[in-house]
Amino acid sequence: MTFLTRFPESFGVEHPIVCRGMDAVGRAKLIAPVANAGTPDFLSALTQPQPELFAEDIRRTFDLTDRPFGVNLTMLPTIDPVPYDEYIDVILG
């Protein structure tokens, strides 16, 4: 049985299963192969300690796949301030 909705058809997704953002491993080296296998995956913004490094990981993912992928920015209270606005600028960039 094939499960198709507008989302997979619109975005060229072969398998309508999502690999969610995962701290520490949600980087281009994981995201691109999963996307290439036909399942959208999500880069984890805060896996990178600086917004500039996150921007590099986004570029690296684009270099490794032409398939759709997303980004995940978890916003939680923290003891050490996180420059959320800078991460958002990278995502929207």
The model's pLDDT over 10-22, given as tens digits with 9 standing for 90+, comes to 777 776 666 666 6
Angle between the N-to-C axes of helices 51-64 and 28-36, in degrees from 0 to 180, rounded to the nearest 10 = 30
Q: Report the SS3 class of residue 42.
A: strand
Q: Residue 50 falls within a domain, yes or no?
A: yes
Judge contact between 10 and 39, C-beta under 8 A: no
Q: Residue 64 falls within a domain, yes or no?
A: yes
Q: Residue 38 falls within a domain, yes or no?
A: yes
**Residue 91 bridge partners (DSSP):** none
Whole-model pTM: value is: 0.79
Which residue range forms the structural domain that includes residue 49? 17-92
Give residue 36's region: left, alpha or beta (phi > 0; psi -120 to 50). alpha
Q: In this predicted model, what pLDDT tens digit does every residue of 50-88 receive, in sequence order?
A: 999 999 999 999 999 998 888 999 888 889 899 999 999
Of 39, 51, 47, nearest to 83 by C-alpha is 51
Q: Residue 7 falls within a domain, yes or no?
A: no
Number of domains present in the structure of the chain = 1
